Each structure stands twice: as structure tokens, then as C-alpha cells.
């Protein structure tokens, strides 16, 4: 049986961008990404456009993600840039990413997040977990209605980022699918 997909957002789960700006969270390193590299500016301000984007990353997260029994996949506005900037800092290999195309940042009238339909389409009936800081009940309802397999929408607080509890939850979900034989 193939492993479930783990759709990974960057800003929020891996980069706790909403944490107090004057203090870098424990265990995190600071990455400064040039803004003129084409990197999307999800949470920046126009007036700061030319300043490097500050990204906090916890190298341990790479190891913890690789130990999960999932196939990792970027689900982030960084898209291909996640492999250029984020993966190396976390010790992750180059990963597939969801290309959001015209859906990128396009709010929907029904309130469903613009990532949700492309993720369901990408999964194409495969079980998945989606780690993000922006899902709502509308997204859960959309997944329930449109996805033929199980889908876990796991919310992460962008002031805190991924914690041990989140990894337990993800491991439990994979185990509940009966696909965790290789784990541990
Ligand atoms: Mg986010």
C-alpha cells in the first residue's frame, strides 16, 4: 500500500511567523531570503518589499518529518522555492510540490481556502494529511464532500509552529490508515 501524502505549508507550521518578533523561538535558526528572488511575500508588507524576508526554521523538524510514514509534499505559496530555501535548511531532500497555478492567492466566494481544491485534485483519491495555519470548517466540509479517501486537516498555530504533539497526531493518523508498518 502506498503511503499517505503529507501536504506541508511553510509559513505557520515550519516558520512561526506570528511569534513575537523580538525573540526568536527556542531551537530555531534565522534564514534571510532575498525578496527579489521571486519568493512570494505571503505575510510581508509592501513597504518592506526590498528587505530580505526573515524566516525562522527549526532544523529538527526536517528529521521529525522524515521519520513520519508519509510521502512529503510542499503545499505552500513558496512552491518550487521551498526546495531552494526551506528544504536545505531543514535537511530535507528535494520534494514534490503542488503547483497552484491560477488558484494561487485567489479567494473563493464560498469561503473555501484557495489551496483546498488543488490539494484534493493532487491527492486524487489518496489519503492525505494537510498541515497548515489557515484551514477552516469549510475546508473540512469540502474535503469530506470531494475527496474519496480520508483527509486530515491539521491546524497549526502560526505563533507556535509544529510541536511534538503535532507529530504524534500525524503519526496516529498514518497508523490509523494501516500504513505505518515501516515506522519505528
Ligand atoms: Mg501558512
Report the C-alpha gap between 179 and 49 in whole angstroms.
44
Q: What is the pLDDT of residues 136-184, one digit of tens each?
A: 999 999 999 999 999 999 999 999 999 999 999 999 999 999 844 444 3
Distance from the CA of 2 to the center of ligand 1, in angstroms? 27
Q: Can you give the residue ranges of every domain in the chain? A: 5-23+58-176
pLDDT for 72:
98
Q: Are strands 53-57 and 29-33 parallel, antiparallel or unpaired?
A: antiparallel
Distance from the CA of 10 to the center of ligand 1, in angstroms? 6
pLDDT for 51:
84
Q: What is the CA radius of gyration of the chain?
A: 16
Sign of CA dihedral 90, 74, 176, 133: positive
C-alpha cell at 147: 475527496
pLDDT for 48:
47
Distance from the CA of 174 to the center of ligand 1, in angstroms? 22
pLDDT for 23:
87
Could you write out the DSSP letters of every residue in 104-160? TT---TT---TTHHHHHHHHTT--EEEEES---HHHHHHHHHH-SS-EEEEE--TTT
The residues with which 56 forms a beta bridge, in sequence order, are 30
Report the C-alpha gap between 152 and 131 in whole angstroms.
8
Which residue is associated with the grid cell 510542499? 74
Distance from the CA of 114 to the center of ligand 1, in angstroms? 12
Distance from the CA of 67 to the center of ligand 1, in angstroms? 22
pLDDT for 91:
97
**Which residues of the chain are under the pLDDT cut of 70?**
1, 36-50, 179-184
Distance from the CA of 48 to the center of ligand 1, in angstroms? 19
Distance from the CA of 181 to the center of ligand 1, in angstroms? 31
pLDDT for 114:
97
At the top level of CATH, which class does the domain 5-23+58-176 belong to? alpha beta
C-alpha cell at 148: 474519496
Could you write out the DSSP letters of every residue in 4-33? PEEEE-SBTTTB-TTS-TTSPPTT-EEEEE
pLDDT for 44:
53
pLDDT for 181:
47
Q: Is 79 left (phi over 0), alpha (psi -120 to 50) or beta?
A: left
H or E segment at 65?
helix 60-67
Amino acid at each position: 500500500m502506498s503511503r499517505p501524502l503529507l501536504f506541508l505549508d511553510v509559513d505557520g507550521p515550519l516558520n512561526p511567523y506570528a511569534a513575537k518578533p523580538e525573540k526568536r523561538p527556542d531551537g530555531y535558526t534565522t534564514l534571510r531570503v532575498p525578496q527579489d528572488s521571486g519568493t512570494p511575500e505571503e505575510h510581508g508588507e509592501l513597504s518592506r518589499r526590498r528587505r530580505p524576508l526573515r524566516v525562522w526554521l527549526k532544523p529538527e523538524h526536517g528529521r521529525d518529518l522524515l521519520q513520519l510514514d508519509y510521502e512529503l509534499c510542499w503545499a505552500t505559496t513558496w512552491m518550487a522555492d521551498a526546495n531552494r530555501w526551506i528544504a536545505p535548511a531543514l535537511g530535507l531532500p528535494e520534494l514534490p510540490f503542488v503547483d497552484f497555478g491560477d488558484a494561487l492567492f485567489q479567494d473563493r466566494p464560498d469561503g473555501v481556502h484557495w489551496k483546498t481544491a488543488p490539494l484534493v485534485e493532487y491527492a486524487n483519491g489518496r489519503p492525505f494529511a494537510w498541515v497548515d495555519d489557515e484551514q477552516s470548517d469549510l475546508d473540512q466540509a469540502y474535503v469530506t464532500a470531494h475527496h474519496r479517501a480520508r483527509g486530515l486537516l491539521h491546524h497549526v498555530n502560526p505563533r507556535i509552529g509544529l510541536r511534538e504533539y503535532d507529530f504524534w497526531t500525524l503519526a496516529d493518523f498514518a497508523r490509523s490508515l494501516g500504513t505505518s508498518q515501516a515506522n519505528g
